[in-house]
Structure 1
């Protein structure tokens, strides 16, 4: 049975943390899925988008990306190869470690990332515009809390 918003509270109004956890997890997963599938270029699978987003934050190595993405080194090697072949990622020799390469976004990769993010932001903005002011205010207050939970 799915949890509804009324299930997350006990009769006294205090939140039932277990029910709230289920409700938030389901809502976050559904939003993530909708944003990802309604606004992502068909040619860019979610795992490749994630790597582009990581590289937008700065230069990395395949091993570093594999660690933060929690995938195997061979899996990341395949992902990086596909992104490099598509002209979205550039590989450069590591200046001090000949066994490593440094990965950066190409201008094309940066443009694609910007465009996908813009479509995702538009999708979310349209949904937010459908809410009343009180709900938008609540979400504005909740957003930093959710970001903090996600960062843990």
Structure 2
């Protein structure tokens, strides 16, 4: 493959990944915005302070505060003051937030599985190989 062909393939791959990402983002059952869903996913394993969420999402603290405010209003998270440091507030996902994440993931899985089901066995095998390659590319 020539350098020009590699660049063209790279561009096509990037655009296709963006389309898949955009399409699956809108497969959510709840009325949670994509940036809010990302925060909820971060909280599934453990609570985080606002600053930790801001850093994980690569946004400012004020921006994360607004995002968390919306999630609190929706009943998806709660804020809890740190007992040892009054300046620090922890964000915990609620049962409603956890259920929203699980429902959205199920909906996105259905969307993807419906499309994969339309592929031939050979295409599925090729897609599995490509997925492994893409995972390596992203890990670098």
Change (3 A) 1:133 1:87: same
Greater mean deviation of Cα atoms: 136-145 or 43-52: 136-145
1:101 positional shift: 1.0
Structure with larger RCO (C-alpha < 8 A, sep 6+): 2
- Looking at structure 1, the residues matched to 7 and 129 of structure 2 have their Cα atoms a distance apart, in angstroms, of 21
Matched residue, 1:133: 121
State the aligned residue count: 140
| 1:57 aligned residue | 45
Which of residues 129, 134, 137 is equivalent to 1:146?
134
Q: CA distance change for structure 1 residues 151 and 102 in 2, over 3 Å: closer, same or farther?
A: farther
Q: Are the aligned partners of 2:30 and 2:104 in contact in 1 as well (CA < 8 Å)? A: no
Q: List aligned pairs for 1:98-117, cutoff 5 A.
A: 98-117=86-105
Is residue 2:45 matched to residue 1:66?
A: no
1:36–1:96 Cα change, 3 Å: same
SS at match of 1:90: strand
Q: Which runs of 5+ in 1 are unaligned?
A: 1-8
How many Å apart are 1:151 and its aligned residue? 4.2
Unaligned stretches of 5+ residues in structure 2? none
TM-score normalised by L of structure 2: 0.89
Partner SS, residue 63 of structure 1? helix
Deviations, residues 36-73 of structure 1 (Å, cap 9, x unaligned)? 12x12362111111111111132211111111211111
Residue 138 of structure 1 deviates from its aligned partner by 1.5
Cα separation, partners in 2 of 1:59 and 1:132, compared to 1, 3 Å: same
Q: Helix, strand or coil for the counterpart of 1:56?
A: coil
RMSD: 1.9
For normalisation by structure 1, the TM-score amounts to 0.83
| Alpha-carbon contact 2:81-2:88 (below 8 Å) kept | yes
* SS of residue paired to 1:142: helix
